[in-house]
Amino acid sequence: MSSAPHFQRVALIGFGLIGGSIARAAKLQGLAGEIVTTARSEKTRARVMELGIVDQVVATNADAVKDADLVILCIPVGACGPVALEIAAHLKPGAIVSDVGSVKGAIVRDMAPHLPNTVHFVPAHPVAGTEHSGPDSGFAELFINRWCILTPPEGVDADATDRLRAFWAAMGAKVEVMTPDHHDLVLAITSHLPHLIAYTIVGTADELAQVTESEVIKFSAGGFRDFTRIAASDPTMWRDVFLANKDAVLEMLGTFTEDLSKLTRAIRRGDGEALFDHFTRTRAIRRGIVEIGQDSAAADFGRQHGALRKP
């Protein structure tokens, strides 16, 4: 546990995978004197009370942010603008207001106009997650050795950015600062496009007439299974991501479609050399990701396999 809390009162708006993980990590590390949270539904509020991780669960966002030194919106991207408007008049002067949304340009566009200039607005995106959602899905270790990208708009107090950086670092994250537009371009290719492809391929397999659904499920370990995990991600969150990062995703999708056409041509023409060269290049990228510790080198993503029975 750290020696002193980084913030006296932390307000988390939304207690799902990300909000719940921040609460658990901050509590474990002693980063907040007090953690107060709010969730939209009565059901979530009741469950959060039961979990006993936070100090207070309140019914309104306005109540949650009162006297808070750090406010983090942990809700879908599309909900951040309206919630910023709702809390604006209740924010403590000097407070840091942040979020965890997977898109940053739209967050700055939707939230900044509502926030008073007495607070410091430092948007953030922890590049860490799972396909699970809801109050039970969070865990304290989620951010360890994962990147958290801060995108402070121009003119934001450097001290506020440093304090938020230290908060994320204390939860185990590696922190980098970039502009919202650059963030959206990088994440379009590293996260948003892969999700779109997974959603597409799983939907396509579901609609195939020649292969039965039971065959798709039965033989899924051939590669399909790894797409299904991503395609199980929260529909609300991902709807908002694609609507909010439309331009960058369309740009990357254009490049992707051109590359897919090249591979299609190589298959049609029987151009084994082109295919081999391409797959060799992509294999090196995977090795690079493992080398910098962003994934496990274990075979089959570290899945447990049963042993062969002795004859």
Q: Which residues bind ligand NAP (CB under 6 A)?
A: 14-19, 39-41, 44, 74-77, 79, 83, 100-102, 125-126, 129, 133-134, 137, 234, 237, 241
In angstroms, give the least distance from the CB of 230 to ligand NAP: 10
Please compute Rg for the chain using Cα positions.
22
> Nearest CA to 179 among 248, 240, 255?
248
Q: How far is the CB of 234 from ligand NAP (least distance, A)?
A: 5
Q: Which is nearer to ligand NAP, 232 or 274 (CB)?
A: 232
Give the 3-state secondary structure of residue 128.
coil
Count of other CB atoms within 10 angstroms of residue 33: 14
Rounded least distance, CB 307 to ligand NAP, Å:
33
In the complex, least distance from residue 270 CB atom to ligand NAP, rounded to whole angstroms: 40
Closer residue to ligand NAP in complex, CB, 178/263: 178
Burial (CB count <10 Å: 0-12, 13-18, 19+), residue 146 = middle
The distance of Cα 153 from the centroid of its chain, to the nearest Å, equals 20
Residue with smaller CB distance to ligand NAP, 101 or 180:
101
Residues near 237 by Cβ (< 8 Å), separated by ≥ 6? 76, 77, 102, 133
3-state secondary structure of 236: helix
Q: In the complex, what is the shortest distance from the CB of residue 47 to ligand NAP, in angstroms, rounded to a whole number?
A: 9
